[in-house]
Structure 1
Amino acid sequence: MASHTIKKVLNSSVVLVEDERGVERVLLGKGIGYGRKPGESVPADAPDRVFVELADADHHTLVDLLSAIPPGYLEITRETVGFAAEQGIALDPHIYLALTDHLHFAVARARQGLLVVNRFAWEMRALYPRHWAVGLRTVGLLRERLDAELPEDEAANIAFHLVNAEAGPAAVDPLRVVGLINAITQIVTHTTTARFDDDSLHRARFISHLQYFAERFFTGHLLTSDDDFLYQQLGERYPRAVAAAERVGSYIEQEYGDPLPKEEIAYLALHVARAAPE
């Protein structure tokens, strides 16, 4: 790759560069900006350097933010990306900008005593265990290197960023998935005898079913068989579970405008019945 010209040194690990066609990119690399000045050329072939293209004006705001963030945060982000790679998680390069900004803000909030609780932390841990594990290691780095008193739930916030930045085909928005799962779980616990402890097998099984359901729902691949035999059988044997599943169906139709097929309601009722025997 050809060398690039420095336009601006953001900090010792980040510089704004421009190629021969005038295309701007952020170049990340430990010590890449140390002692550098605008107008100098920098080689781009070092293995530890990462380019982040600036596709639109909004990214310039992030560039300005990075110039005000101590380079230690970027180094933690770089290690986080490395942890993710070890877990088989390939990330879009823009994670370097978005996650670095998030980590800096999270530590600033913590030092002000403003700890934000992630209501979906358990769901994130259950649905995205690899991303959660990476987030947990990152929280450990923040505590160790920056003396930041962050709660374990912060791993869920980091996991959100990782899922959203995962490379490859567009995935289902994890926030929508865990939001739907949380709403369904609340409906079931309020309308049945089901009680889910954080580490219970019932909860793990139920959440696992809901994960697949949510992914089918948001990708338009719901079960749509015309055979309602299972639904009728469950209605006779587990009327409360079916009633709870119907409540979920009503919520989804009201919230998203899409009615649930009887087959999906039946399978949901089956899992409700297992979690809350009548």
Structure 2
Amino acid sequence: MQIIKKVLNSSVVLVEDERGMERVLLGKGIGFGANRGDLVREGSTDRVFVALDDIDQRNFVELLASIPGEFVELSRTIVAEAAAAGLDLDPHVYLALTDHLHFVVERHRRGMHVVNRLAWELKTVYPVEYGIGLRAVHRMRERLVPGLREEEAANIAFHLANAAIGRTRGNALQVAELVSAVTTIVSNSSGIALAGEELHVRRFLTHLQFFAERLFAGSSLPSDGEDFLYRNLTQSHPRAIATAERVRAFVRVEHGIEISNEEVSYLAVHIARATSSP
């Protein structure tokens, strides 16, 4: 049994069960005409409960009271698309995403345009999430802000990637930033701009994504003790190894993490492929 404690907007109510546990209930029109003390009747299966685990989430709930229900519905549409695409997301993404979408519209109406310097990396590293974000941008253009910039899709992709459950992705922003930094190191070392949709570039960036995810998850590849591949590449691809060593030094200085010769070797293999003719 759920009892309404507070109506936040037409699509969000704060409820309490018989054990005194509070949760947020999201559902289209769930708060319309509802009052404190009302029982929540069984409704459609698309209703979503979000547990309140800490003080930050409770503060978020209060914030939702000032956000129109249409933003909650837009978030629900985005998360439903993500689920259909096979993404398993923490339910708290509803709160963070709703707040973000509302802020985007308010910011745009005030003429504040913020450039996402990692838009390309997020688009490349998280293509599924970016595609969902792009469709969300098109909906927002139709309903709320006609001039909304396409790069906003990258910000939505970030929220979806960061809410992923059961993946060793670590923080999506950390992953995107490291991919960007390593790409810059390789481009500067080789004199070749690694940007675009070419197959060799996409393969390289895919490797960087998994490299970064392993790094921040603490599951980097260990050395095999023999370092056969590393020694072989030092002879056959010295420039690629030298560039991979620059990446190792960068990771050591910026993140305090020492990566193995095995990781350096696989980086060198992909660097050699990406900086040669496709």
Structure 2 stretches lacking a partner, 5+ long:
none
Q: What's the secondary structure of 1:41's corresponding residue?
A: coil
CA shift in 2, pair 1:169/1:216, >3 Å: closer
CA shift in 2, pair 1:251/1:169, >3 Å: closer
Look up the match of 1:231: 230
Q: CA deviation at 1:44?
A: 4.0
CA shift in 2, pair 1:180/1:169, >3 Å: closer
Look up the match of 1:268: 267
In structure 2, C-alpha distance between the alignment counterparts of 1:52 and 1:231, rounded to whole Å: 49
Look up the match of 1:221: 220
Look up the match of 1:201: 199
- The answer to whether the 8 A contact 1:111-1:149 is kept is no
Matched, 1:38 2:7: no
Matched, 1:83 2:81: yes
Q: Which one of the candidate residues 51, 71, 74 is aligned to 1:73?
A: 71
Q: CA deviation at 1:170?
A: 6.0
In structure 1, C-alpha distance between the alignment counterparts of 2:210 and 2:259, rounded to whole Å: 15
1:116-150 CA distances to partner (integer Å, 9 max, x unpaired)?
22222222222222111111111111111113422
In structure 2, C-alpha distance between the alignment counterparts of 1:111 and 1:81, rounded to whole Å: 25
- The answer to whether the 8 A contact 1:122-1:198 is kept is no
Further displaced range: 100-109 or 147-156: 147-156
- The answer to whether the 8 A contact 2:211-2:220 is kept is no
Q: CA deviation at 1:45?
A: 4.2
Q: CA deviation at 1:76?
A: 0.6
Look up the match of 1:179: 177
Look up the match of 2:189: 191
Q: How does 1:102-251 map to 2 (within 5 A)?
A: 102-168=100-166, 171-219=169-217, 220-251=219-250
Q: What's the secondary structure of 2:213's corresponding residue?
A: helix
Q: Which one of the candidate residues 15, 35, 53 is aligned to 1:55?
A: 53
- The answer to whether the 8 A contact 1:206-1:275 is kept is yes
In structure 1, C-alpha distance between the alignment counterparts of 2:42 and 2:163, rounded to whole Å: 23
Q: What's the secondary structure of 2:266's corresponding residue?
A: helix
Q: What's the secondary structure of 2:3's corresponding residue?
A: strand
Q: What's the secondary structure of 2:35's corresponding residue?
A: coil
- The answer to whether the 8 A contact 1:12-1:31 is kept is yes
Q: CA deviation at 1:194?
A: 2.3
- The answer to whether the 8 A contact 1:8-1:17 is kept is yes
In structure 2, C-alpha distance between the alignment counterparts of 1:168 and 1:263, rounded to whole Å: 25
In structure 2, C-alpha distance between the alignment counterparts of 1:126 and 1:144, rounded to whole Å: 26
In structure 2, C-alpha distance between the alignment counterparts of 1:150 and 1:227, rounded to whole Å: 54
Q: Provide the TM-score with structure 1 as the length reference.
A: 0.92
Aligned length: 276
Identity among equivalent pairs (%): 51
| CA RMSD across the alignment | 1.9
In structure 2, C-alpha distance between the alignment counterparts of 1:258 and 1:15, rounded to whole Å: 45
1:220-250 CA distances to partner (integer Å, 9 max, x unpaired)?
2314122233323322333222211111111
In structure 2, C-alpha distance between the alignment counterparts of 1:48 and 1:228, rounded to whole Å: 53
1:185-232 CA distances to partner (integer Å, 9 max, x unpaired)?
111111222222322233212111212222222232314122233323
- The answer to whether the 8 A contact 2:248-2:259 is kept is yes
Further displaced range: 194-203 or 139-148: 194-203
Q: CA deviation at 1:67?
A: 0.8
Q: What's the secondary structure of 1:26's corresponding residue?
A: strand
CA shift in 2, pair 1:48/1:234, >3 Å: closer
Further displaced range: 175-184 or 226-235: 226-235
